[in-house]
Amino acid sequence: MIFTLIIRTPATEHGRWQRAQRFISTAVDEGHTVRQVFFHSAGVSSAVHREARPGWNKLAERTGAEFLLCSQAVEEHGIVIEPPFVVGGLGALVEAAVKADKVLSFV
């Protein structure tokens, strides 16, 4: 199965972004593919959070998935972009969603 994930979980919600990270790891362990992880709204803060960042980096390397930060949210939250993250718009999310079997949102 091919997944696209939307992460809207703020950095302050440790349990929630950790659940998203565990989901990705388990999905890959079970032979599934993660096509894209799209960080939207307050989710961009969990992408760059000092405790969450190492996990996202490891998952990006392990999955080869696109790890996109919503362009509007990056501007709104003043996020500095560093690899493996890139800035993308909702169009990129829609394209990944069309090509996925399932789209999951973590809020």
Residues 6+ apart with CB under 8 A from 99: 2, 4, 35
Q: By the 8 A CB rule, do 66 and 47 touch?
A: no
**pLDDT of the residue at 65:** 97
Residues 6+ apart with CB under 8 A from 29: none
Query: Mean pLDDT throughout 15-38?
Result: 98
pLDDT band at residue 17 under the 50/70/90 scheme: very high
Helix, strand, or coil (residue 6): strand
Q: By the 8 A CB rule, do 8 and 41 touch?
A: yes
Identity of the residue numbered 58: K
**pLDDT of the residue at 41:** 96
Look up the CATH number of domain 2-106: 3.40.1260.10
**pLDDT of the residue at 81:** 92
Q: What's the predicted TM-score (pTM) here?
A: 0.96
Express each pLDDT in 41-94 by its tens digit: 999 999 999 999 999 999 999 999 999 999 999 999 999 999 999 999 999 999
Cα angle 42-100-39, degrees, rounded to a multiple of 5: 10
pLDDT band at residue 40 under the 50/70/90 scheme: very high
d(C-alpha 7, C-alpha 16), whole Å: 9
pLDDT band at residue 95 under the 50/70/90 scheme: very high
